[in-house]
Amino acid sequence: MNHTKYIFVTGGVTSSLGKGIISASLAKLLQARGIRVTIQKLDPYINIDPGTLNPYEHGECFVTNDGAETDLDLGHYERFLNIPTSQANNITTGRIYQSVINKERKGDYLGKTVQVIPHITDEIKESVKKLGADGDFDVVITEIGGTVGDIESLPFVEAVRQLKWELQNKCIVIHLTLVPYLAAAGELKTKPTQHSVKTMLELGVQPDVLVCRTEHHLDDEIRSKIARFCNVSENAVIESRDANSIYRVPLLMQDEQLDQVVLEKLGMENNTPDLSKWKQFLHNLDNLKHEVNIGLVGKYVELQDSYKSIVEAIQHAGVSSNTKVNINWIHSEGITEGTANAKLNNLQGILVAPGFGERGIEGKIMAVQYARENNIPFLGICLGMQCAVIEFARNVLNLKDAHTVEIDKTTPFPVINMMEEQKFINNLGGTMRLGEYECKVQKDSNIYKSYGDTIINERHRHRFEFNNQYLTQFEEKGMISTGKNPQTDLVETVEIPNHKWFVGVQFHPEYKSSVEEPHPLFISFVEAALDQ
């Protein structure tokens, strides 16, 4: 008999209240009690996944070991829980409808009229229960994107209503809502929360717990009022105040006894949590001895969520190295021959970020050149590595037309292709190299010194590969390949040994960094910058 319990996290009044952080924080508190827990995200948009979305639309696209392009909240889940997610942890409306339509075309519904209820809602329910089916988890937390009342999320809320009825005491709903403070009146207002819960009730769902985002303390009178009008117990009205770090939220939720309330409602044992490692991380975060400035060069810097995993990986590494890392956000389109020195000369480290497309490429290449010529520790990730290869080809090998195939499609002058499209068929059927792949590392390299191993596994998300016909020229002039895929001989990492610390990687190391296991490559980068 399956004893898995299910928790749904919904949001009301406004988006961006922090459902992902609350979900991850609750999961961390349950995990600290020895409970096996995972989190999934249901996204109401019709895209199959966020892989084709501009980062300005949806922030970073996170990639799992099995090659799924997912919502950035899965990055929070992994950073908090330190366990990998998979394709099953992120479901979109697009995937649900695609699956149902495929079944209809195959005749699986035996000629029935295919409808939102029961076919779409059944598909959603199956996606939710799939994670709990094999008994690997005691609790599955499902975060529903968007805001309750949005037309897009209605099928998801209906699926929750049905599951709450079907699963009875094995299922609860946590509703995240807003309690705004009106300065003119000088008081907190509960009416938006009341209306949000009323919308839920109209859809047939009674929340069991209310997490109230607020800038001010909720006193007993306010809690009592919310509880009375929203049909929840007073101890199930949870205050969620702003924190100076997302990693403090689990302890704030513990202070509010969110985890205890949830366990009581699910009828689960209330073991003593062990948060010693988490508290040690926060203690170290508050007592950093050193400081360093690192430039993050990208073309989506106006929306910092576009580089969420990189920012968090840098912070994890900084805490591990007892260092406060000040990230200087530098738009690659603003870097020219005339501005490079002014924008980059105060940095102890330069990171050139991933990206797609032609825009901002030249600025990234100039940032690489500045780091190489001025002996500044450099880390290039994915397109950042490709830019490092192009810069070296142009300015050291004197191949002035060096570029990539992608740029070749829109450039009128001849191009020497440093990066070539491989048409690498991934396990999701596309032509990008997605997910985890093996890399064999050369000893005595910076990569080896970071990982301490000759075989590493990292996640990928790219279409272009280093053009191996130029490798001998590169290595003769001082840029060497220190890591290759052992099955395909594709170049995974490049370094310049006579540089202080210059590393380019084809993969995305940021996806694997977590609070309890900071990524070794970022630790090495921060420490190299600290020694600058």
Is it the case that residue 428 has pLDDT exceeding 50? no
Contact 347, 318 (CB under 8 A): no
**Which carries the bigger pLDDT value, residue 203 or residue 423?**
203
- Using CA atoms, how far residue 345 sits from 134, 159, 525, in Å, is 55, 55, 18
> 383 by DSSP, 3-state: which?
helix
Q: Which residues contact 488 (CB under 8 A, 6 or more apart)?
A: none
Q: What integer pLDDT is reported at residue 420 of this predicted model?
A: 53
Is it the case that residue 444 has pLDDT exceeding 60? yes
Contact 363, 337 (CB under 8 A): no
Is it the case that residue 520 has pLDDT exceeding 90? yes
CA angle at 457 for the pair 456 and 463, rounded to the nearest 5°: 125
Q: What integer pLDDT is reported at residue 404 of this predicted model?
A: 67
Catalytic residue from among 123, 510, 519, 527: 510
- For residue 118, is the peptide bond before it cis, meaning its omega torsion is within 30 degrees of 0? yes
22-49 average pLDDT score: 94
What residues does 172 pair with on adjacent strands?
Answer: 7
Cα 94 from chain centroid (whole Å): 20
Q: Pick from 52-61, 284-293, 411-420, 459-468 the range whose average pLDDT is largest.
A: 284-293
187-206 average pLDDT score: 94
Is it the case that residue 215 has pLDDT exceeding 70? yes
Q: What integer pLDDT is reported at residue 340 of this predicted model?
A: 87
Handedness of CA 431, 432, 433, 434 (dihedral sign): negative
Q: Which range among 30-34, 414-418, 460-464 shows the weakest confidence by mean pLDDT?
A: 414-418
- Using CA atoms, how far residue 456 sits from 414, 437, 453, 521, in Å, is 37, 8, 7, 11
Q: What integer pLDDT is reported at residue 51 of this predicted model?
A: 79
Q: What integer pLDDT is reported at residue 301 of this predicted model?
A: 81
171-197 average pLDDT score: 92
Q: Give the residue carrying structure tokens 């950042």.
A: 384
Catalytic residue from among 175, 316, 462, 508: 508
Backbone angles phi, psi at 11, to 5 degrees: -135, 150
Q: Which range among 276-280, 431-435, 436-440 shows the weakest confidence by mean pLDDT?
A: 431-435
Is it the case that residue 394 has pLDDT exceeding 70? yes
Q: Which residues of 38-76 are buried (b: 16+ CB within 10 A; e: fewer)?
A: bbbbbbbbebbbbbeeebeebbbbbbbbbbbbbbbbbbb
Q: What is the Cα–Cα distance from 133 to 123, expressed in whole angstroms?
A: 15
Q: What integer pLDDT is reported at residue 7 of this predicted model?
A: 97
Q: What integer pLDDT is reported at residue 405 of this predicted model?
A: 52
Is it the case that residue 158 has pLDDT exceeding 80? yes
Backbone angles phi, psi at 4, to 5 degrees: -65, 135
Q: What is the Cα–Cα distance from 164 to 208, expressed in whole angstroms?
A: 11
- Using CA atoms, how far residue 87 sits from 62, 93, 378, 415, in Å, is 11, 14, 32, 38
Q: What integer pLDDT is reported at residue 408 of this predicted model?
A: 40
122-128 average pLDDT score: 95
- Using CA atoms, how far residue 420 sits from 282, 369, 372, 466, 490, in Å, is 44, 22, 24, 6, 11
- First and final C-alpha spacing in the chain: 59
Q: What is the Cα–Cα distance from 197 to 192, expressed in whole angstroms?
A: 9
Contact 108, 145 (CB under 8 A): no
Contact 30, 81 (CB under 8 A): no
**pLDDT tens for each residue of 270-312:** 888 999 999 999 999 999 999 999 999 998 887 788 899 999 9
Q: What is the Cα–Cα distance from 402 to 388, expressed in whole angstroms?
A: 11
Q: Model confidence at 410, in pLDDT bands (50, 70, 90)? A: very low
Catalytic residue from among 382, 391, 406, 495: 382
Q: Model confidence at 336, in pLDDT bands (50, 70, 90)? A: confident
Q: Which residues contact 527 (CB under 8 A, 6 or more apart)?
A: 321
Q: What integer pLDDT is reported at residue 426 of this predicted model?
A: 38
Cα 53 from chain centroid (whole Å): 14
Is it the case that residue 222 has pLDDT exceeding 90? yes
Q: What is the Cα–Cα distance from 253 to 259, expressed in whole angstroms?
A: 7
Closest residue by Cα to residue 177 from 161, 158, 198, 154: 198
Is it the case that residue 356 has pLDDT exceeding 60? yes
Q: What integer pLDDT is reported at residue 389 of this predicted model?
A: 92
Q: What is the Cα–Cα distance from 519 to 315, expressed in whole angstroms?
A: 10
Portion of the chain with pLDDT greater than 90, in percent: 73
Q: What integer pLDDT is reported at residue 40 of this predicted model?
A: 95
The answer to whether 382 is a known catalytic residue is: yes
Q: Model confidence at 467, in pLDDT bands (50, 70, 90)? A: confident
Q: Model confidence at 427, in pLDDT bands (50, 70, 90)? A: very low
User: Which tokens sit at 380?
Assistant: 């290039």
Q: What integer pLDDT is reported at residue 3 of this predicted model?
A: 86
Q: What integer pLDDT is reported at residue 415 of this predicted model?
A: 41
Q: What is the Cα–Cα distance from 424 to 404, expressed in whole angstroms?
A: 16
pTM value > 0.75: yes
| H/E element, 497 | none
Residue 485: CB atoms within 10 Å: 18
Q: What integer pLDDT is reported at residue 422 of this predicted model?
A: 46
Q: Which residues contact 457 (CB under 8 A, 6 or more apart)?
A: 436, 437, 438, 439
Contact 197, 212 (CB under 8 A): no
Backbone angles phi, psi at 351, to 5 degrees: -115, 120
The answer to whether 508 is a known catalytic residue is: yes
Contact 419, 386 (CB under 8 A): yes
503-526 average pLDDT score: 96
